[in-house]
């Protein structure tokens, strides 16, 4: 299947459709995090450098935290998002769609060590390309999944009030396509609307703008507007 949507069945028995994220946005999120961490460390280095040896000790402790705890704490406490993941609107979730807990967050971030081998996340890249859910090894062991944080699309309803019954019985897939056209066409240019409507000329018996209007009418009828 080309689509990266994965069905995850929640405890309530309903399938959540989660769009699994591929290696590229994840790598970009990682780079953003790397820059942030580097900046934090550089800043800490300047400030703590003024404090002498004790400052250097504190710097090393904080460096440990920034390296190991940063992704764990963010993922467990901040909706499964590090700042980099937030910027790329990615989210870590458990494979049952629930928010990621402390233990999975720890596991997946400790096992980065292995995914980084032998260089530049090569193992993780191969694993995420081979896996249907785009998971790296750490994700598999932790039972987690990185998904695109869902955005609500603004679907406008069909822009006219006219209602038109389709001249023939339509199968469910065809009905869904008509409704989707009614909702999404307002986001397209008029010429593209017409181009799409022309594809179903046998249904509308019209071309161009009048075909578009008839499709809107049928979409309204299918939605139950009267």
- Mapped onto helix, strand or coil, the DSSP state of residue 62 is helix
203 binds another protein (CB under 8 A): no
Instruction: Report phi then psi at 205, rounded to 5.
Output: 55, 30
Q: Using the rule CB under 8 A, which residue among 34, 56, 195, 210 binds another protein?
A: 56
**Can you give the three-state secondary structure of 59-109, one letter per residue?**
HHHHHHHHHHHHHHHHHHHCCCCCHHHHHCCEEEEECCCCECCHHHHHHHH
Measured from the CB atom, the residue of 45 and 208 that comes closer to another protein is 45
**Both structure tokens of 131:** 């896996």
Residue of the chain from 32, 40, 87, 114 that contacts another protein (CB under 8 A):
114
Q: How far apart are CA 218 and CA 174, in angstroms?
A: 11
DSSP state for residue 158 in the 8-state scheme = P
Sign of CA dihedral 211, 216, 221, 225: negative
Part in contact with another protein (CB under 8 A); list of ranges 31-39, 63-71, 82-90, 194-202:
63-71
Q: How do strand 90-94 and strand 5-9 relate by DSSP bridges?
A: unpaired
User: Does residue 54 touch another protein according to CB under 8 A?
Assistant: yes
Q: What's the length of the chain? A: 226
Q: Which is nearer to another protein, 87 or 141 (CB)?
A: 141
Q: Which stretch in 23-31, 37-45, 54-62, 81-89 sits in contact with another protein by CB under 8 A?
A: 54-62
Residues numbered 133-192 forming contacts with another protein, rule: CB under 8 A:
137, 140-143, 150, 152-153, 155, 157, 172, 175-176, 179-180, 183
Q: What are phi and psi of 71, to 5 degrees?
A: -65, -35
Give min distance, CB of 15 to another protein, in A. Answer: 8
- Which residues here bind another protein, judged by CB under 8 A? 10-17, 52-54, 56-61, 63-64, 67-68, 76-77, 79, 97-104, 106-107, 110-114, 117, 137, 140-143, 150, 152-153, 155, 157, 172, 175-176, 179-180, 183, 222-225
């Amino acid at each position: 299947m080309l689509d990266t949507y994965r069905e995850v069945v929640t405890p309530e028995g309903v399938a959540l459709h989660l769009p699994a994220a591929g290696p590229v946005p994840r790598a970009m999120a990682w780079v953003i995090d790397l820059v942030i961490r580097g900046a934090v460390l550089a800043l800490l280095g300047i400030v703590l450098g003024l404090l002498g040896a004790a400052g250097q000790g504190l710097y090393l402790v904080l460096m440990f935290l920034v390296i190991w705890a940063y992704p764990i704490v963010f993922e467990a406490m901040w909706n499964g998002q590090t700042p980099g993941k937030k910027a790329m609107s990615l989210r870590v979730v458990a494979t049952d769609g629930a928010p990621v807990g402390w233990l999975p967050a720890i596991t997946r971030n400790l096992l980065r060590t292995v995914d980084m081998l032998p260089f530049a996340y090569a193992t993780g890249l191969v694993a995420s390309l081979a896996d249907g859910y785009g998971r790296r090894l750490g994700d598999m062991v932790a039972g987690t999944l990185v998904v695109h944080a869902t955005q609500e699309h603004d679907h406008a309803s069909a822009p006219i009030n006219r209602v038109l019954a389709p001249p023939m019985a339509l199968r469910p897939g065809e009905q869904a396509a008509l409704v989707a056209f009614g909702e999404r066409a307002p986001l397209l240019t008029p010429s593209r609307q017409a181009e799409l409507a022309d594809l179903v000329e046998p249904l509308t018996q019209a071309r161009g703008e009048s075909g578009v209007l008839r499709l809107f009418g049928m979409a309204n009828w299918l939605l139950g507007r009267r």
